[in-house]
Structure 1
C-alpha cells in the first residue's frame, strides 16, 4: 500500500513515515508534487537487485584493499581544432 505525505508532515514526524514504509512506499510531496519516495532498505535492495554503488565502496573500513581496474591512458596525439 502506498502512503502519501507532505514534506511538512515528514519533517514533523519522521518516525511515522518510517513505520509507514514498512507497509509500502511512502511518497513525499513538496507543494503538492511528488518529490521523494521512502522505502525500506530491504525493498530498495529488492528493486535494485542488490547492486553495489560507488558510495558503498567509499564507506568500506580502512585498510581493506580495493582492486581498481583503470583503462590505459591514450598515447594518441592531440589535434588543435580549426577555428
Structure 2
C-alpha cells in the first residue's frame, strides 16, 4: 500500500519539528514524491548526511510503502 502525503508529512514533522516542509506527489500514485525540507537540523551537515537523516525519519518505509522520494534539503539560511 502506498504512503499518503499526510503520512509522509507526519514522519518528517516528527523528526524535524522546526521544518518548513513542502511535499509534491510527482505521479499521482502516492508512491513517488518530492519533499523540500528546510530545517536547522541540517546546519553543518553535508547533503548526504542530511538525506540520511530524512531516510532515518521514515523508519524503514523507504523502498516499501514509499517507492521514490526526491529530496531537497537545506537550512533556513541556505533557503534564503
User: TM-score category by the smaller chain?
Assistant: under 0.3
Higher relative contact order (CA 8 A, sep 6+): 2
TM-score by length of 1: 0.25
Q: Which has the larger radius of gyration?
A: 1
TM-score by length of 2: 0.26
